[in-house]
Amino acid sequence: MRDVVGTIPGVTTLTQLGIAAVVVSTILLVRDYSRSELYKVLSIIGLAVLRAFVFSERLAIMELAVPVIVILVAKLSIQRGWRRTVARISPFVSLFAVVVVFGSFEYFRSWTFFRTHATASYADFAVSRFVGYYATALNNGQLVLDKLNWHNRLPYETIEGLWTAPGIYSMQLYERLGGHAPPSLRPGAEGDSLYMEVLGQFGNPEFNNESGYAAAFVDFGHLGGILFFFLVGVIGGFLYRSFCQAKPLGLFVYPVMFVGLLELPRYIYWSNGRTFYAWIGLLVVVALVSRAQAKESHEP
C-alpha cells in the first residue's frame, strides 16, 4: 500500500512536524488548559494511529505519545496527592501500555501469517515478538561490526538525517563521496543488499534493526563511539536539567530526546530522517520563546 500511495518528497515528510506540534500544544495545555490545544493533540495522534495501521508504522504513534506522557508526568510530579503517585507509577504503566499497543498492531501485521503454525497463544506471540525486536537489534549491530565494517566507510547511521535531507538526498551525496549506496542498501552478491544477506545467513531478515549502540562504533571506531555516547550523556543530562527548570530549550527538546533514549537499543532515533523537520521546528520555537522572554525581562 505504501508503494501504491507513494510520497511527495519534501511534502509528505512534513508529517513529521506533528512531533513538534504535539510537544508545543501539550506544553500549552498543561500550563493553561485549552480545548483547542487538546483537539490539536488528539487530532494529530488520531491521524498517526491511522498512519500506523495503514503503513505498519507503530513508531508514528510512539514518537507522539511519549513526549505527551513525559510532559504530563512532569506536571503531575510537582503536584501533591494522587497526582504525584500517578507520576511515580507511570513508567510501569507505560511499559504495559506499550506492549498492549504493540500487540494490537502486531495482530494485523504478522499474526495473520504465523497463526496457522503457532503453538503458543497470541499473548505469548506478541510479547516474544516485542522482546525480539530489541534483542535481535543488539545481535544485528554486532553483525554489522563484524561483517560490514569495511575500510573507509563514511559515517551514516549517526548522521542519517543529513544524508537523507531534501536536496542532499536527491544529489546522492553519500553515493558520490562514499563510492557506493548507503550501507543498508549496498548491493550484495546475490542481488539483495549486503545487510540482508548477512541477516539471512547469521540472523533473521524479519528483525532488521541495526542497534543504536553499535552504530556509533561502526561510524567512528571504538574510541569515537565512546566519545559519541559521552556527548549523548552530557547533552541528555543538560536537557533534562533544563526541562526540570522549565527552560525553553529543555521544555521543547527533551521530550523528543527521551524518545531517542527509549529507541536507542534498536537504532539512533535523533539522527533519523523522520526527526529532521521536528528538530528544525522545535529549535525555531525555542528561539522565538527565548527572545520573547529576553524582551520581557528588559522591559521596565
pLDDT at residue 284 in the model: 95
Q: For residue range 145-181, list pLDDT tens digits in order.
A: 998 888 888 999 999 888 888 788 888 899 899 888 8
Mean pLDDT of the residues in the chain? 87
Give the integer Cα–Cα distance in Å for 63 and 263. 10
Compute the distance between CA of residue 142 and CA of residue 136 in angstroms, rounded to an integer: 10
What pTM, to 2 d.p., does this model score? 0.87
pLDDT-based confidence at 50, cuts 50/70/90?
Answer: confident
244-258: burial string, b at 16+ Cβ within 10 Å, e else: eeebbbbbbbbbbbb
Q: What does the pLDDT read at residue 185?
A: 83
d(CA 143, CA 214): 9
Q: Which domain does 188 fall in, by range?
A: 2-298
DSSP conformational letter for 266: T
The predicted-structure confidence for 226-244, as pLDDT tens digits, reads as follows: 999 999 999 999 999 999 9
Query: What is the number of domains present in the chain?
Result: 1
